[in-house]
């Protein structure tokens, strides 16, 4: 080795450099040899443990001299063994720079990833197969960074990702999303201070589920401004693949559609971030449904050309928005909620209670032009009883200068053809106008609109279906809360309201109206015209120039259960329909808006008809009003005081059944406030009988026919203190026929086996004419009625005793409906005598007495037919040839102290063709109380034809006899009634009892009591009472007096005898002292009267039965026995000559002779006695001796029976001593009364015929 070389080698620095080079080369060699296996070990162990997954690598190549590292076939195993690796990278290449050492930051010259594949999966809701990795890397690091630490600096060049792929399997949705051809290139990315101004220009391209995405951008991400420009282009993105990831609470569901986009985005961050998006967005073949799966929106193409979308500034500027073939379906569900809104409400329900979102500033939206071509809107309303379907087809809309908020007018035009399932013909609708936020105006034109479109909504209320066509020209204008609607002309043609053919609760009408196009229709109108109508709000005014209705035909009906046809048509509303809704009532209303006002200049009806059927009563009502004409001018509502009267004219024909229709017409004026109607009425032979159910008829009669006529003037005025009515003219009521109704007995209900009388003639007349009628009703003045002349001709009346025993006239007064628990009989037939202590009736409210004046009343050609169906065989009698006259009378009160003016009455006829009937006198039926003084006489009515009555009620027929009757009734001015009814029955004789008769009474006993020695029964029934007494009834008093007389003769003959003789009312019994059978003075007086009556009526026998009471008379019997022993002792003492015989009254207790006899009886009695010291009986006082003797006395078992028998014998013997034959006197069996028997001991007397 040369010396110089050796010297260099021996040089210290040379050796040091050489060792350094050798060491560096050794380090490279060591790193080249050690790093790959060490890195593999770290990846297999440490990194795998940190990941929790097995990490493997195929080949590792490290070049330490160039700091290049290359890894091939890098794989990370899946969470579950046996599956494909979750991450695969074919090649990972990193080229680091040595300058990383002095920059203290990684500087990478190249970062390349080739063939990366990522396999991800969502195993269930909220869970993925990489959740374990997320948990590991999301856990907080133990090392805490400094508060103001600088971010890690880096500098990357040439970042490239080639041919990437992602597979995302979604098990819950059963979908697999793929990304293929993923490529990313980032030329430079650095946050070193020297490189921050260098623009980053990344480029990304991939295919998502087959749709190619291309993006590009330029940005300075590490400058404060962060200026960025980016582009995004894709075409044909199928939205269906991503619909499953939309929020489940969305109110709509996007079913299909493809999306194209060509967008440019710019971003700047100055004082505030600014993002702007522009470009074109197109949606093809979109279809959207609501949450329930119903169609909501579909269209062929929607194009939006966006000028600028600035979300941070909340601004949108769209150059044009075009829809081609949109088809929208607006649906309301059964609960009355919009389908979209109901879904939105469900989504909002997830918001936490109590949280309130801060209000955002409104978006500023500007659309230069909106175009809709070939559109269609379907309205489906399931909230109606019958779902409503209305379609607007061929919809065309043009709008310009649309800005939200509406700060400038938006001009628009729209037209469409409308149709519905109910209507076959399509209607047209045209709109044109301009709209601002608070104002606008729209012109509306409608042609051929079918009214059937409203059927589903009317079906929610009523079942009949509406038909017809509507044409209208008008418009609407508004400014703020004020708006006005103008209808230049509106017409409805061929309107019809009819029930569906299969309507069970809505049958076709039964009332007959001629000229109906549809026989099932309830109403038809030929044409309705409305001209110049103006509606203003909030003034709430309606002004209409003219309304004309032509050929209206209406059916009006009510069923037998009292329901009008409208009530049957009403559709029941389910309870849930109004759930959650608060009804608007007067109490909840907070506004003070004025009421509506309507002005109607002229209204007319031509050729109207109304058919009315009412089956609510037993006899249905059926009338027809036709040829109806009406003209009215100047109508207004509400009517203000002082408004001019309305001119009104009416005319019509009114018919019922087979009756020829009558005519009615009115011509006059009507003033509404105050109500005043005056005019001329002409009515000719109007059928009044159909309206009888609506009259409060107190009589149970059926007016079969009645025709009314009137010709004159009428006036009605409503005043503050009451109405004023005036009627002047001539009236008539002709062809009147009245029949009885089927009645029930008012007292005891229906009688078994008694068929009710139905349809019997009761009252008829041919003509009732009232000439010169003048009726006046005015407040503060008495009602006045003046009739100059009245004539009643050819009248007939019928009186029937029904099989149940009641007179048909009794059942004419229908019982009033009283409170529950009060019978109609109690109300209809009050007791004549008020109960003592009962509350007096309240005084009637004072009222002015009407003044009525009637001229002469003439009666001609009258007859009355009497039939008694109560007896078998039936009995009939007729009153015929009734003619008479009643003079003029009035209700004017008489002068003070005078009598009311009365009219002369004359009425003559015949009874049953044999007995004469004559009624004369004076009366005034209008006087209060009734003023009359009449006499009635009937002579020589043969009684044998009345045998059916005697057999029915007494069980005996009449063999002979005649009846004559005189009655006289007089009512004094003070209301006091004086009446006499004298009945004379001559030679009345009853036959033998009739076998099987309904009743059997001892009428012979009654005749024996009532008839005198000549066989004449002369009964006079004087009646007195006051008609001012509200409980006084004349008829019941008369029948009760006669009935009481007959029944008393049968059931209590002694009372009847006592009344004639003026004695005691208890002649049927003789009272005795307890324990005694001796007659006292009162008993002897009673027996004297009985003896006289028996002497005058030799046909009577008497039976006497003695009564005694075992327990009550024991003490009395002992005293009577003691009295008898004392009397016997007195007689013995008198026989021995100790003393003179004594009279019975001398032996009364307290007298000396009684004391001596009692002492001797006491001495002789064998009983225990009080004794003195020597054993001798003590001397006691009279009471003490009586007490000891009574206590020691025993009563024999038959003592009471013997006492009763002794009493009967005492009565018989006394009457026999009063010249009553002993053969007419009988002793009955003695009777021992129970301890609870009332009254004193007595003997009972009974009468019988011989």
**630-651 confidence digits (pLDDT tens):** 999 988 888 877 788 999 999 9
Alpha-carbon span 376 to 395, nearest angstrom: 6
Confidence of residue 140 (pLDDT cuts 50, 70, 90): low
Closest CA to 695 of 619, 802, 806: 619
Pure H helices in 796-851: 824-828
Residue 295 has pLDDT above 50, yes or no: yes
**Quick one: pLDDT at residue 652?**
93
% of the chain with per-residue pLDDT over 70: 81
**Quick one: pLDDT at residue 4?**
61
Average pLDDT over residues 364-384: 89
Closest CA to 397 of 473, 323, 474: 323
**Quick one: pLDDT at residue 1147?**
62
- The answer to whether the CB of 28 falls within 8 A of the CB of 61 is no
**Quick one: pLDDT at residue 630?**
93
For the ranges 280-289, 447-456, 1237-1246, the one whose mean pLDDT is highest:
280-289
Confidence of residue 940 (pLDDT cuts 50, 70, 90): confident
- Lowest average pLDDT, out of 708-717, 857-866, 1042-1051, goes to 1042-1051
Average pLDDT over residues 417-422: 78
Residue 396 has a CB neighbour count (10 Å cut-off) of: 13
Confidence of residue 505 (pLDDT cuts 50, 70, 90): low
**Quick one: pLDDT at residue 543?**
94
Confidence of residue 66 (pLDDT cuts 50, 70, 90): confident
pLDDT digits (tens, 9 = 90+) for 317-326: 999 999 999 9
Alpha-carbon span 443 to 1049, nearest angstrom: 100
Q: Which two tokens stand for residue 989?
A: 């004789």
Q: Which is more confident, 328 or 1031?
A: 328
Alpha-carbon span 955 to 994, nearest angstrom: 6
Average pLDDT over residues 776-798: 90
Q: Give the single-character DSSP code of 995.
A: T
Closest CA to 1182 of 1151, 1208, 1217, 1138: 1151
Average pLDDT over residues 1102-1121: 84
Closest CA to 364 of 298, 307, 289, 299: 307
**Quick one: pLDDT at residue 438?**
86
**Quick one: pLDDT at residue 934?**
86
Helix (H, G, I), strand (E, B) or coil at 790: strand
Confidence of residue 502 (pLDDT cuts 50, 70, 90): low
Q: Which is more confident, 535 or 946?
A: 535
What values do phi and psi take at 29, rounded to 5?
A: -65, -40
Residue 656 has pLDDT above 80, yes or no: yes
Which own/partner pairs from 53-60 qualify as long-range (CB within 8 Å, at least 24 positions apart)? Answer: 53/77, 53/78, 53/79, 53/86, 53/133, 60/35, 60/36
Q: What is the pTM of this model?
A: 0.60
Beta strand 315-324 with 273-290 is unpaired
Closest CA to 555 of 513, 517, 502, 616: 513
pLDDT digits (tens, 9 = 90+) for 989-1007: 778 888 877 777 777 777 7
Q: Which is more confident, 402 or 14?
A: 402
pLDDT digits (tens, 9 = 90+) for 148-193: 566 777 778 888 999 999 998 888 888 888 999 889 888 887 777 7
pLDDT digits (tens, 9 = 90+) for 1134-1164: 877 655 545 554 466 656 678 888 788 878 7
pLDDT digits (tens, 9 = 90+) for 431-453: 999 998 888 999 999 998 888 88
Confidence of residue 757 (pLDDT cuts 50, 70, 90): very low
Confidence of residue 726 (pLDDT cuts 50, 70, 90): very high
Alpha-carbon span 1059 to 170, nearest angstrom: 121
Q: Which is more confident, 1101 or 1096?
A: 1101
Confidence of residue 818 (pLDDT cuts 50, 70, 90): very low
Helix (H, G, I), strand (E, B) or coil at 136: helix
User: Mind giving me the DSSP string for 934-986?
Assistant: EEEEEEEEESGGGHHHHHHHHSEEEEEEEEEEEEEEEE-TTSEEEEEEEEEEE
What values do phi and psi take at 694, rounded to 5?
A: -95, 0
Outline where DSSP puts E strands in 333-363: none
Average pLDDT over residues 775-796: 91
Average pLDDT over residues 448-468: 83
Residue 354 has pLDDT above 70, yes or no: no
pLDDT digits (tens, 9 = 90+) for 571-584: 665 554 444 444 44
Residue 689 has pLDDT above 90, yes or no: no
Which own/partner pairs from 271-278 qualify as long-range (CB within 8 Å, at least 24 positions apart)? Answer: 272/312, 273/312, 274/310, 274/312, 274/313, 275/310, 275/311, 275/312, 276/308, 276/309, 276/310, 277/306, 277/308, 277/309, 277/310, 277/311, 278/306, 278/307, 278/308, 278/309
Residue 588 has pLDDT above 50, yes or no: no
Alpha-carbon span 54 to 47, nearest angstrom: 9
Confidence of residue 729 (pLDDT cuts 50, 70, 90): very high
Confidence of residue 369 (pLDDT cuts 50, 70, 90): very high
**Quick one: pLDDT at residue 842?**
47
Residue 1028 has pLDDT above 60, yes or no: no
Q: Which two tokens stand for residue 56?
A: 């493997």
Residue 70 has pLDDT above 70, yes or no: yes
Q: Which is more confident, 1131 or 1024?
A: 1131
- The answer to whether the CB of 1106 falls within 8 A of the CB of 1206 is yes
The length of the chain, given as a count of residues: 1250
Residue 217 has pLDDT above 50, yes or no: yes
Sign of CA dihedral 1078, 1080, 1082, 1087: positive
What values do phi and psi take at 332, rounded to 5?
A: -115, 130
- Lowest average pLDDT, out of 26-35, 915-924, 932-941, goes to 26-35
CA dihedral 503, 504, 510, 514 (to 10 degrees): 10
Residue 68 has pLDDT above 80, yes or no: yes
Confidence of residue 531 (pLDDT cuts 50, 70, 90): very high
Residue 994: CA count within 13 A, CB half-sphere = 21
Q: Which two tokens stand for residue 262?
A: 């060509």
- Lowest average pLDDT, out of 125-134, 549-558, 1078-1087, goes to 125-134
Q: Mean pLDDT, the chain, as a whole number?
A: 79
- Three state DSSP letters for 651-713: EEEEEECCEEEEEEEEEEEEECCCCEEEEEEEEEEEECHHHHHHCCCCECEEEEEEEEEEEEE
Question: Between helices 1199-1216 and 1114-1136, what is the axis angle to 10°?
Answer: 70
User: Mind giving me the DSSP string for 579-619?
Assistant: TTPPP--TTT----PPPPEEEEEEEEEEEEEEEEEE-SSSS
% of the chain with per-residue pLDDT over 90: 17
Helix (H, G, I), strand (E, B) or coil at 457: helix
What values do phi and psi take at 780, rounded to 5?
A: 80, 0
Beta strand 796-801 with 857-868 is parallel
Alpha-carbon span 319 to 366, nearest angstrom: 8
Confidence of residue 556 (pLDDT cuts 50, 70, 90): confident
Q: Give the single-character DSSP code of 224.
A: S
Closest CA to 487 of 477, 497, 499: 477
């Amino acid at each position: 080795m040369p010396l110089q070389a050796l010297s260099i080698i021996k040089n210290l620095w040379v050796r040091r450099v050489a060792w350094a080079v050798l060491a560096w080369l050794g380090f490279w060699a060591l790193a080249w040899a050690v790093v790959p296996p060490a890195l593999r070990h770290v990846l297999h162990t440490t990194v795998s443990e940190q990941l929790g997954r097995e990490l493997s690598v195929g080949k590792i190549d490290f070049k330490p001299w160039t700091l290049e590292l290359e890894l091939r076939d890098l794989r990370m195993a899946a969470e579950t063994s046996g599956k494909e690796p979750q991450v695969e990278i074919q090649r990972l290449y990193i080229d680091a720079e040595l300058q990383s050492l002095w920059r203290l930051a990684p500087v990478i010259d190249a970062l390349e990833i080739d063939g990366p594949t990522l396999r991800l999966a969502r195993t269930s809701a909220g869970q993925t197969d990489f959740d374990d990795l997320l948990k590991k890397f999301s856990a907080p690091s133990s090392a805490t960074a400094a508060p103001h630490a600088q971010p890690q600096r880096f500098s990357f060049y040439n970042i490239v990702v080639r041919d990437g792929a992602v597979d995302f399997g979604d098990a819950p949705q059963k979908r697999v999303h793929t990304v293929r051809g993923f490529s990313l290139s980032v030329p430079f990315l650095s946050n070193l201070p020297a490189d921050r101004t260098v623009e980053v220009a990344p480029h990304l391209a991939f295919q998502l589920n087959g749709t190619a995405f291309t993006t590009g951008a330029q940005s300075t991400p590490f400058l404060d401004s962060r200026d960025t420009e980016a582009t995004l282009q894709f075409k044909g993105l199928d939205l269906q693949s991503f619909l499953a990831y939309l929020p489940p609470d969305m109110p709509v569901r996007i079913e299909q559609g493809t999306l194209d986009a060509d967008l440019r985005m710019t971003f700047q961050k100055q004082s505030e971030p600014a993002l702007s998006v522009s470009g074109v967005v197109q949606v093809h073949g979109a279809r959207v449904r609501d949450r329930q799966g119903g169609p909501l929106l579909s269209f062929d193409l929607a194009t939006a050309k966006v000028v600028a979308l600035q979300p941070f500034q909340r601004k949108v500027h769209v150059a044009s928005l075009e829809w081609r073939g949109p088809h929208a379906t607006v649906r309301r569900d059964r609960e009355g909620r919009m389908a979209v809104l109901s879904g939105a409400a469900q989504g909002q329900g997830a918001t936490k209670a109590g949280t309130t979102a801060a209000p955002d500033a409104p978006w500023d939206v500007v659309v230069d032009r909106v175009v809709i071509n070939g559109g269609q809107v379907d309205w489906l309303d399931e909230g109606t009883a019958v779902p409503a379907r209305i379609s607007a087809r061929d919809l065309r809309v043009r709008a310009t200068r649309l800005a939200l908020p509406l700060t400038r007018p938006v001009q628009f035009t729209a037209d469409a053809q409308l149709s519905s399932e109910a209507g076959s013909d399509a209607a047209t609708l045209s709109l044109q106008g301009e709209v601002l936020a608070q104002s606008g105006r729209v012109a509306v034109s409608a042609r051929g609109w079918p009214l059937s479109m409203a059927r589903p909504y009317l079906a929610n209320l009523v079942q009949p279906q509406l038909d017809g066509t509507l044409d209208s020209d008008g418009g609407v204008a508004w400014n703020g809360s004020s708006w006005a609607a103008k209808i230049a002309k509106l017409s409805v043609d061929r309107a019809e309201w009819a029930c569906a053919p299969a309507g069970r609760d809505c049958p076709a009408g039964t009332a007959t109206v001629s000229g109906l196009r549809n026989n099932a229709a309830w109403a038809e109108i030929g044409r309705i015209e409305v001209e110049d109508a103006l509606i203003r709000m909030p003034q709430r005014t309606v002004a209409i120039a003219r309304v004309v209705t032509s050929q209206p035909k209406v059916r009006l009906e009510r069923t037998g259960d009292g329901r009008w046809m409208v009530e049957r048509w009403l559709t029941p509303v389910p309870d849930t329909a109004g759930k959650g809704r608060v009804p608007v009532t007067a109490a909840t209303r907070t506004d003070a808006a004025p009421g509506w006002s309507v002005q109607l200049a002229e209204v007319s009806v031509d050729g109207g008809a109304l058919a009315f059927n009412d089956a609510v009563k037993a006899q249905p009502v059926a009338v027809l009003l036709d040829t109806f004409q009406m003209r009215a001018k100047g109508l207004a509502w509400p009517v203000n005081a002082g408004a001019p009267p309305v001119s009104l004219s009416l005319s019509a024909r009114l018919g019922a059944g087979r009756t020829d229709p009558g005519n009615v017409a009115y011509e006059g004026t009507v003033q509404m406030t105050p109500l005043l109607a005056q005019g001329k009425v002409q009515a000719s032979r109007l059928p009044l009988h159909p309206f009888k159910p609506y009259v409060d008829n107190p009589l149970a009669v059926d007016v079969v026919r009645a025709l009314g006529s009137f010709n004159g003037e009428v006036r009605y005025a409503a005043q503050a203190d009451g109405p004023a009515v005036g009627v002047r003219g001539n009236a008539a009521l002709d062809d009147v026929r009245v029949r009885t109704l089927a009645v029930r007995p008012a007292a005891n209900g229906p009688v078994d086996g008694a068929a009710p009388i139905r349809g019997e003639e009761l009252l008829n007349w041919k003509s009732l004419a009232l000439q010169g009628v003048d009726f006046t009703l005015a407040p503060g003045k008495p009602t006045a009625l003046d009739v100059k002349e009245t004539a009643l001709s050819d009248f007939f009346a019928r009186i029937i005793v029904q099989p149940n025993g009641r007179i048909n006239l009794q059942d004419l007064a229908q019982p009033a409906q009283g409170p529950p628990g009060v019978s109609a009989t109690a109300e209809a037939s009050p007791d004549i005598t008020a109960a003592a202590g009962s509350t007096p009736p309240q005084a009637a409210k004072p009222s002015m007495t009407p003044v009525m004046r009637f001229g002469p009343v003439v009666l001609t050609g009258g007859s009355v037919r009497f039939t008694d169906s109560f007896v078998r065989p039936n009995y009939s009698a007729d009153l015929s040839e009734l003619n008479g006259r009643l003079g003029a009378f009035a209700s004017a009160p008489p002068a003070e102290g005078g009598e009311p003016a009365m009219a002369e009455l004359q009425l003559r006829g015949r009874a049953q063709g044999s007995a004469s009937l004559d009624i004369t006198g004076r009366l005034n039926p209008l006087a209060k109380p009734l003023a009359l003084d009449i006499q009635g006489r009937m002579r020589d009515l043969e009684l044998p034809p009345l045998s059916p009555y005697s057999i029915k009620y007494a069980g005996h027929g009449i063999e002979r006899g005649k009846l004559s009757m005189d009655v006289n009734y007089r009512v004094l001015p003070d209301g006091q009634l004086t009446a006499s009814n004298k009945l004379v029955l001559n030679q009345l004789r009853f036959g033998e009892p009739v076998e099987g008769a309904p009743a059997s009474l001892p009428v012979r006993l009654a005749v024996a009591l009532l008839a005198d020695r000549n066989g004449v029964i002369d009964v006079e029934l004087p009646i007195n009472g006051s008609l001012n007494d509200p409980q006084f009834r004349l008829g019941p008093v008369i029948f009760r007096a006669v009935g009481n007389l007959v029944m008393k003769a049968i059931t209590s003959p002694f009372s009847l005898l006592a009344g004639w003789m003026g004695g005691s009312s208890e002649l049927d019994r003789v009272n005795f002292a307890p324990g005694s059978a001796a007659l006292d003075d009162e008993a002897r007086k009673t027996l004297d009267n009985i003896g006289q009556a028996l002497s005058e009526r030799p046909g009577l026998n008497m039976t006497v039965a003695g009564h005694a009471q075992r327990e009550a008379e024991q003490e009395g019997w002992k005293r009577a026995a003691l009295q008898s022993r004392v009397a016997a002792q007195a007689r013995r003492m008198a026989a021995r000559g100790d003393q003179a015989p004594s009279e019975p009254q001398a032996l009364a207790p307290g007298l000396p002779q009684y004391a001596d006899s009692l002492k001797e009886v006491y001495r002789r009695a064998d009983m225990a006695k009080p004794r003195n010291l020597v054993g001798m009986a003590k001397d006691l006082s009279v009471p003490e001796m009586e007490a000891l003797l009574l206590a020691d006395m025993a009563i024999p078992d038959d003592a009471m029976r013997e006492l009763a028998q002794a009493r009967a014998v005492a009565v018989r013997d006394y009457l026999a001593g009063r010249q009553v034959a002993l053969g007419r006197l009988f002793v009955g069996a003695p009777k021992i009364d129970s301890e609870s028997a009332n009254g004193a001991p007595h003997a009972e007397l009974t009468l019988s015929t011989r």
